[in-house]
Amino acid sequence: MKDVTVSVGVARVTFRLHGNDSLKGKRKIVKSLIEKSRNRFPVSIAEVDDLDRYQRATLGIAVIGNDSRLLNAILDKVVDYMAGMGLADLESHRIELIPL
């Protein structure tokens, strides 16, 4: 039997929410980014940092599979999709693939 290499792809994405002045407004934007992306891609997403900052949101995105190139491509597409939504400005992102 052939060994299958399983990997986890993770991305950390930080957005700048210009003009936002409340946690309620931030929650609305973050919720929209997460729900629309989850509906379009087979990923898990959660807000992971900057929880109390009104104008910044940091999201963690994860996907698991046996094709590292595919995982990387999915994460790239998710980041591009989120940035293209126009809800917030992409400040930074980092993608990492972790073999299991």
CATH number of residue 64's parent domain = 3.30.70.1120
In a domain, 80, yes or no: yes
Q: Is 6 among the domain residues?
A: no
Domain annotation covers residue 19:
yes
Query: How far apart, in whole angstroms, are the C-alpha atoms of residue 68 and residue 52?
Result: 34
Number of folded domains that form the chain: 1
CA dist 44 to 3, 10, 20, 63, 100, Å?
26, 10, 25, 7, 18
- Say if 17 falls within a structural domain: yes
Is 71 part of a structural domain of the chain? Answer: yes
Which residues span the domain enclosing 91?
A: 11-99
Check residue 14 and give its pLDDT.
97
In a domain, 74, yes or no: yes
Model confidence, pTM? 0.90
As given in the structure block, the two tokens for residue 18 are 């210009």
Q: Give, in degrees to the nearest 5, the angle at Cα 82 between 78 and 84.
A: 115
Tens of pLDDT along 55-99? Answer: 999 999 999 999 999 999 999 999 999 999 999 999 999 999 999
pLDDT 10s digits, 11-56: 999 999 988 889 999 999 999 999 999 999 999 999 999 888 999 9
